[in-house]
Amino acid sequence: MFELQFASISEFLQMGEYTFNVWSVYVLFAVFIFINLYYPLLRRKKILKEQKRRQLLQEQAPTREATIDQSKSELASSYGENL
């Protein structure tokens, strides 16, 4: 029932007189499949990376706030001295 329809690879690549028609459709199809599998995976990596960065910043937040408070008080006292 299922027989190989082409005698050689060059015949297969030529597809009779319809080389462009058949191959452009299959190439477009392959590109479409690839993009719609690859792009979600890429976006997932970006989301996870962004989340990790945010989480790291939040963990550092107490120490960062203390540093900011210290700089603020130093600035305020130096301003007071110049008055």
Partner 1 sequence: MWPWLQQLGSPRWFYELTGRWLPWLVASMAVLLTVGIVMALLFVPADYQQGNTIRIMYVHVPLASISLAFFPLMAVAGIVTLVWRMKLADMVAKTAAPLGAWFTALALASGSIWGSDIWGAWWVWDGRLTSMLLQLFLLIGVISLRSALEDSDGAARACAVLSIVGCINVFVIKYSVDWWNTLHQPASPINMSSEGPNGPEIWVPLLIMLLAVALFMVVSLILSTRNEILQRERRSQWVRNLLQQT
Q: Catalog residues that contact partner 1 under the rule CB under 8 A.
A: 1-6, 12, 15-18, 20-22, 24-26, 28-29, 32-33, 36-37, 40-41, 43-44, 47-48, 51-52, 54-55
CB of 38 to partner 1, least distance (A): 10
The pair of structure tokens assigned to 5 is 């329809």
Report the distance separating Cα 75 and Cα 62, nearest Å: 20
Integer Cα distance of 77 and 83 in angstroms: 10
Q: Which is nearer to partner 1, 55 or 71 (CB)?
A: 55
| Identity of the residue, 34 or 67, whose beta carbon is nearer to partner 1 in the bound complex | 34
Report CA torsion sign: 52, 55, 61, 63. negative
